[in-house]
Amino acid sequence: MSTLLGYVLPGIPYGCDFALMAVGLVITFRTTGVFNLAFGAQAFGAAFVFDLLVRSEGLPVWAAFVLSVLLLSPAVGLVLDRFLFSRIATTNMTAKIVSSVGLLIAIPQLLPILFGGSPRENPPSLWLDQAHVEFRLFGTAVNGSEVSTTVITLGAVAALLLFLRLSPAGLEMRAVVESRRLAQLQGIDSGKVAASAWALSSVMAGLAGVLLLPLSNVLNPTNPLQFTGLLVAGLTAAALARMRSIGVAFGAAIGLGVAQEVLELYFPNGALHTASVNAFPFIVLVGTLVGSKSLRSLGFRADPMAGVDPPPPPPSVSIRDPRLDVPMKWGFRALIVAFVVSGLTWVPGYWVTPLDAGLVYSTIFLSVTLITGASGQLSLCQASFAGVGAFAAGQLAAHFGLPVLLGAVVGGLMAAVLGAVLALLAARISGLILTLLTLAFALMADTFLFQYSWSGGSGTGVSVPRPVMGSIDFTSNRAFLVLALVVLLLCILLVALVQRGTTGRFLAAMRGSEPGAASLGINLLRARVTVFAMSAGIAGVGGAMFGSLYSPVSADSFVYEISLAFVVVVITTGSRRIEGAVQAGMSFAIIQFLFTYAPSRFQGLTPILFAFGALNYAQHPEGMVEYQKSRWMMRVSRLLARVDGRRGTAPTALAAGAAGNGMAGGVVGGSAPNGAPGLAGSPVGLSSGVVSPRG
What residues numbered 444-483 form the site for another protein, per CB under 8 A? none
- Identity of the residue, 260 or 661, whose beta carbon is nearer to another protein in the bound complex: 661
- Point out which span in 84-92, 186-194, 419-427, 485-493 binds another protein (CB under 8 A): 186-194
* Residue partners of 389: CB distance under 8 A and separation at least 6: 408, 411, 412, 414, 415, 539, 540, 541, 542, 543, 544, 547
Establish if 120 lies at the interface with another protein (CB under 8 A): no
The answer to whether residues 382 and 364 touch, using CB atoms and an 8 Å cutoff, is yes
- Helical residues (DSSP H) of 345-381, grouped into ranges: 349-368, 375
Please choose, out of 2-10, 185-193, 445-453, 526-534, the segment that lies near another protein by the rule CB under 8 A.
185-193
Select from 31, 100, 153, 179 the one that contacts another protein (CB under 8 A). Answer: 179
Secondary structure of residue 201 in the 3-state scheme: helix
List the one residue out of 685, 656, 669 whose CA is nearest residue 321.
656
By CB under 8 A, tell whether 162 contacts another protein: no
Show the binding pattern over residues 298-327: x = contacts another protein (CB under 8 A), - = does not.
---x--xx-xx-xx----------------
Print burial letters for 531-569: b (CB count within 10 Å at least 16), e (below 16): bbbbbbbbbbbbbbbbbbbbbebbbebbbbbbbbbbbbb
DSSP SS3 for 121: strand
Q: Please name which of 238, 240, 233 lies closest in space to residue 280, comparing C-alpha atoms.
A: 233
In terms of CB distance, is 180 or 577 closer to another protein? 180
Q: Which of 91, 122, 140, 184 binds another protein (CB under 8 A)?
A: 184
Strand (E) or helix (H) holding 26: helix 2-32
Question: Cα-flanking dihedrals φ and ψ of residue 456, to 5°?
Answer: -85, 0
Which of 469, 493, 494, 495 shows the shortest CA–CA distance to 482?
A: 469
**Rule CB under 8 A: is residue 169 a binding residue for another protein?**
no
Which among 455, 456, 443 has a CA at the least distance from the CA of 282? 443
Residue span binding another protein (CB under 8 A) among the ranges 85-93, 102-110, 486-494, 678-686: 678-686
Q: Which one of 59, 671, 683, 687 is in contact with another protein (CB under 8 A)?
A: 671
Closer residue to another protein in complex, CB, 194/230 = 194
**How far is Cα 231 from Cα 122, in angstroms, rounded to an integer?**
22
Q: Nearer Cβ to another protein, position 154 or 308?
A: 308
Binding mask 17-36 for another protein (x = CB under 8 A): --------------------
Q: Which residues make Cβ contacts (< 8 Å) with residue 406, sequence separation at least 6?
A: 396
691 binds another protein, rule: CB under 8 A: no
Number of DSSP helices (H) and strands (E) in the chain, helices first:
32, 6
Question: Smaller CB distance to another protein: residue 598 or 676?
Answer: 676
Q: For residue 89, state whether it binds another protein (rule: CB under 8 A).
A: no
**CB of 502: closest distance to another protein in angstroms?**
32
Helices within 426-476 (DSSP H only):
431-447
- Assess 294 for contact with another protein (CB under 8 A): no
Q: At closest approach, how far in Å is the CB of 689 from another protein? A: 14
Examine residue 291 and tell whether it contacts another protein (CB under 8 A). no
Number of residues near another protein (by CB under 8 A): 42
Does residue 166 belong to the site contacting another protein (CB under 8 A)?
no
- Binding of another protein by 689 (CB under 8 A): no
Q: Which of 625, 578, 521 is nearest to 372 (CA)?
A: 578
Between 584 and 667, CB nearer to another protein? 667
Q: Which stretch binds another protein (CB under 8 A): 82-90, 521-529, 623-631, 671-679?
A: 671-679
Angle between helices 2-32 and 144-166 (to 10 degrees): 40
Per-residue mark of binding to another protein, 634-663 (x: CB under 8 A): ---------------------------xxx
Q: How far is CA 692 from CA 68, 236, 395, 522, 637, in A?
A: 52, 43, 48, 21, 18
**Interaction between residue 369 and another protein (CB under 8 A):** no
In sequence order, the 6+-apart residues with CB closer than 8 A to the CB of 458 are: 451, 452
Binding site for another protein (CB under 8 A): 168, 171-172, 174-175, 177-179, 181-190, 301, 304-305, 307-308, 310-311, 661-664, 666-668, 671, 673-679, 681, 685
